Homo-oligomer: A and B are copies of this chain.
């Protein structure tokens, strides 16, 4: 089974940084298949990276190693970490960027979520810069994991990784759930923290209405449920409710950014 290592960073795509990490990875694990997920997480946007990692890791084989470097605290006291779940292995800073995948595994079965502090310099580069642990600690550890090193060799257990304070939606009675937009994607789809499971508890889709600012939107099954240029709500490919504009950008058209509040109500409550 050929090793796979994915890369998710906020390093951008015009400097040497991603290339330096790839060189380290291939030096230590020459057989690895390197897969760019994205290097364009907004600088230091831990929440966006955590959501991207959570969504994409589910599609990869479980022997994949996911290298995730969004690390505003590089050189400070934050720990470098790695974790293993049934969905894959993950390497990055202990700042919340890995918390969604760790938490999901932990919620299903605490015995399935293993985390360690990276504390064994023999798996790092010989010299560690203070500004680029991606190249000097995280990449070599990811390469060693992909090449066969076990998680336990990397350092002592990390009992409680830093958890991302991802906002949870709140019930305002049994017929109204309020949450917020957690990410606006490249197309301008506004992805919320309300999931398909939440909606199922509220009622059948035709009975629901989404309130977002001045907008009242119906829940549709597909973009084709409205005319081009019209807004709608639907459950997106990640299982979260999204606000969209057919063939357009809901982010631009509705002036929505992460943090924007929204609620879903049963129509009978009107």
Which residues 18-72 of A have a CB within 8 angstroms of B?
A: 18-24, 26-27, 30-31, 33-44, 48, 51-53, 55-61, 64, 72
Chain B positions within 8 Å of A16 at CB level: 37-38, 51-53, 55-56, 238
Q: Which of A104-112, A129-137, A146-154, A211-219 contacts B (4 or more CB under 8 A)?
A: A129-137
- Specify which of A8, A40, A43, A56 lies most central, judged by the most chain B CB atoms within 10 Å of its CB: A56
Chain B positions within 8 Å of A55 at CB level: 16, 19-20
Chain B positions within 8 Å of A31 at CB level: 2
- Report the separation of the CA atoms of residues A184 and B26 in the bound assembly, to the nearest whole angstrom: 27
Given A19-B38, A52-B19: A26 touches B4 (CB 8 Å cut-off): yes
- Report the separation of the CA atoms of residues A31 and B30 in the bound assembly, to the nearest whole angstrom: 13
Q: How many residues of A contact B (CB 8 A)?
A: 72
Does A237 touch B at the CB level, under 8 Å?
Answer: yes
Does A170 touch B at the CB level, under 8 Å?
Answer: no
Does A14 touch B at the CB level, under 8 Å?
Answer: yes
Which residues 229-270 of A have a CB within 8 angstroms of B?
A: 234, 236-238, 247, 249
Whether B135 pairs with A23 at a CB distance below 8 angstroms is no
Given A1-B30, A131-B236, A221-B130: A24 touches B59 (CB 8 Å cut-off): yes
Chain B positions within 8 Å of A14 at CB level: 38, 40-42, 48, 52, 186
Select one of B2, B8, B27, B234 contacting A60, CB under 8 A.
B27
Does A172 touch B at the CB level, under 8 Å?
Answer: no
Closest to A51 in B: B16
* The 10 nearest A-B residue pairs measured at CB: A23-B59, A12-B186, A75-B222, A19-B56, A132-B237, A19-B37, A16-B55, A23-B60, A130-B222, A76-B224
Chain A residues in the interface with B (C-beta under 8 A): 1-2, 4, 6, 8, 11-24, 26-27, 30-31, 33-44, 48, 51-53, 55-61, 64, 72-77, 129-132, 135-136, 185-187, 221-224, 234, 236-238, 247, 249
